[in-house]
Amino acid sequence: MKFSANLGFLWADCPLPDAIRAAKAAGFDAVECHWPYDTPPDVVRDALSDTGLRMLGLNTARGNVAAGENGMSAVPGRQEEACRAIDEALSYATAIGAGNVHVMAGVASGDAAHLCFIDALQCASNRAARHGITILIEPLNRFDAPGYFLRNLDQAAQIIAEVAVPNLKLMFDCYHVARTEGDVLRHLSNLQPIIGHIQFARVPDRGPPDGGDLDYRKVFAWIEASGWETPLGAEYKPGENTDATLGWLTWARG
């Protein structure tokens, strides 16, 4: 099994280039991040080159975080800002060689929000295709992200089918799925054709994948047997010391 360190949580107290180097030293096969925009892309590119790691993906900007915003792409009246956030993410991803951009929907609901999100995803997918980039969408659980527009896997699958382009895929986060929909292995099996990336964290506290309500030994074994080859994203909250939480890497690699 191959694993990617999500640097939005792991080594989050370090500058992004240092976090990339820490992930390499810890034995990760790739990295991914949330919002890298405060770090010049050439600095990130140099760290990736030095370590030989790939940056798998990054997120579009959330908007006004202090006001509770969590993306803008499904928020009526925010279309221009959402387009700018998509362009920003695609530009940054292109500069560092990232293969995926997660387009964040935001806090919204209803038909108008659905239409906004469809329009944003069509625009994002078309622009991303010019650079060989995949657009990802991710349902977030209602406990961690109350009011988030993309709430469940069925909704995400319907949107992907409606946009109907090959470079729009599902970000399947085992943690979010387990918290709201359960039966992670069944959902992985049913949705595998539209999955673009897989992430994980312990359920229900979003810690490292040791213990908890979801047996990741079984989950990782199923994913490996399915033929999945892309590194799985370790998107968990490590507390103060990331290195102290990495014992799971030993058993997860088999």
What integer pLDDT is reported at residue 59 of this predicted model?
98
Q: Are 224 and 1 in contact (CB under 8 A)?
A: yes
Own/partner pairs, 163-167, CB within 8 angstroms, 24+ separation: 163/118, 163/121, 163/122, 163/125, 165/122, 165/125, 165/126, 165/129, 167/125, 167/128, 167/129, 167/133, 167/134, 167/135
What integer pLDDT is reported at residue 240 of this predicted model?
86
Confidence bin at 253 (pLDDT 50/70/90)? confident
57-66: b (≥16 Cβ within 10 Å) or e: bbbbbbbeee
Residue 163's φ and ψ, nearest 5 degrees, are -70, -40
Report yes or no on whether pTM surpasses 0.75.
yes
CA-angle at 226, arms to 221 and 230, nearest 5°:
90
What integer pLDDT is reported at residue 254 of this predicted model?
72
**Active-site residue numbers?**
138, 235
105 contacts: CB under 8 Å, gap ≥ 6: 70, 71, 73, 74, 75, 113, 117, 137, 148, 149, 150
Mean pLDDT, rounded, of the chain: 97
Over pLDDT 90: what percentage of the chain? 99
Residue 21 scores a pLDDT above 90: yes
Residue 185 scores a pLDDT above 90: yes
173/253: higher pLDDT: 173
Q: Which two tokens stand for residue 249?
A: 């890497």
Amino acid identity at 134: T
Residue 198 scores a pLDDT above 80: yes
228 contacts: CB under 8 Å, gap ≥ 6: 192, 198
Which residues span the domain enclosing 30? 3-252
Q: Are 170 and 193 in contact (CB under 8 A)?
A: no
Q: Are 108 and 75 in contact (CB under 8 A)?
A: yes
What integer pLDDT is reported at residue 92 of this predicted model?
98
* Tally of structural domains, the chain: 1
Convert the pLDDT of each residue in 120-138 to its tens digit: 999 999 999 999 999 999 9
What integer pLDDT is reported at residue 159 of this predicted model?
98
Convert the pLDDT of each residue in 72-108 to its tens digit: 999 999 999 999 999 999 999 999 999 999 999 999 9
Convert the pLDDT of each residue in 27-52 to its tens digit: 999 999 999 999 999 999 999 999 99
Per the DSSP assignment, residues forming a β-bridge with 57 are: 100
Residue 184 belongs to domain with CATH number: 3.20.20.150
Instruction: Kindly state the average pLDDT of the residues 206-228.
Output: 97
Write the CA distances from 95 to 41, 44, 101, 248, integer angstroms: 6, 9, 13, 32
Number of Cβ within a 10 Å radius of residue 46: 14
